[in-house]
Amino acid sequence: MKHAYSILGILIIIILVGAYFSFNTAHAPSSIMELASPAFEHNGTIPSQYTCDGDRLAPPPLEVSSLPEGTGSLVLVMDDPDIPQEVKDSRGIEKFDHWALYNLPAKEGVINGGVSGLNGAGETGYRGPCPPPEYEPTEHRYVFRIYAVSGTLNFIKTPTLDEVETAAKGMMLDSAELIGRYERR
């Protein structure tokens, strides 16, 4: 009889473990949200046309895929964490904010639309990479982050990148990152 209870206990454990894995597999996201650009690869060089050295200060084309179910809007930010220490110290910042967009349409494909927040220069819109060549490092990383959020964001005044990102994280369903590099010649 003792042997029968042991076998029954083992069978119950196997059934519970199987049910657990079956449930988690069935409810796991089918894919992970991705952020990419046809202009450069992850950790690749951002073409100069999208920088202060180019003909225009327009952002590189960006594409998002595999949005999670329930996405109400998208948020996109871009910053430069590699600014020189003396610039960090003089401005009291840890990164330079290049771009903040929120309330982008919740659709896969090319990213466009949305509402602009303030960049590090205190202006709205995209500010292209422009690492100062007189400081080390001369090559900087530019981090693009996209957030799928469950609704839309509302602000009383034009928000900074940090304000946009903080609000997005409170409603975030998923996120993705793309890093581009640029060095002035």
Over residues 159-170, the pLDDT tens digits come to: 999 999 999 999
Those residues with Cβ within 8 angstroms of residue 13's Cβ, 6 or more apart along the chain or in another chain: none
Residue 102 token pair:
């929120």
Whether 75 and 8 map to the same domain: the answer is no
Whether 45 and 57 map to the same domain: the answer is yes
Whether 37 and 97 map to the same domain: the answer is yes
Over residues 6-51, the pLDDT tens digits come to: 555 554 555 544 545 444 444 444 469 999 999 999 999 999 999 9
Whether 37 and 4 map to the same domain: the answer is no
Number of domains in the chain: 2
Instruction: Bin 109: left if φ > 0, else alpha if -120 < ψ < 50, else beta.
Output: left
Whether 12 and 53 map to the same domain: the answer is no
Domain coverage including residue 148: 31-183
Whether 52 and 90 map to the same domain: the answer is yes
Residue 37 C-alpha from the chain's centroid: 13
Place of tokens 């967009």: 101
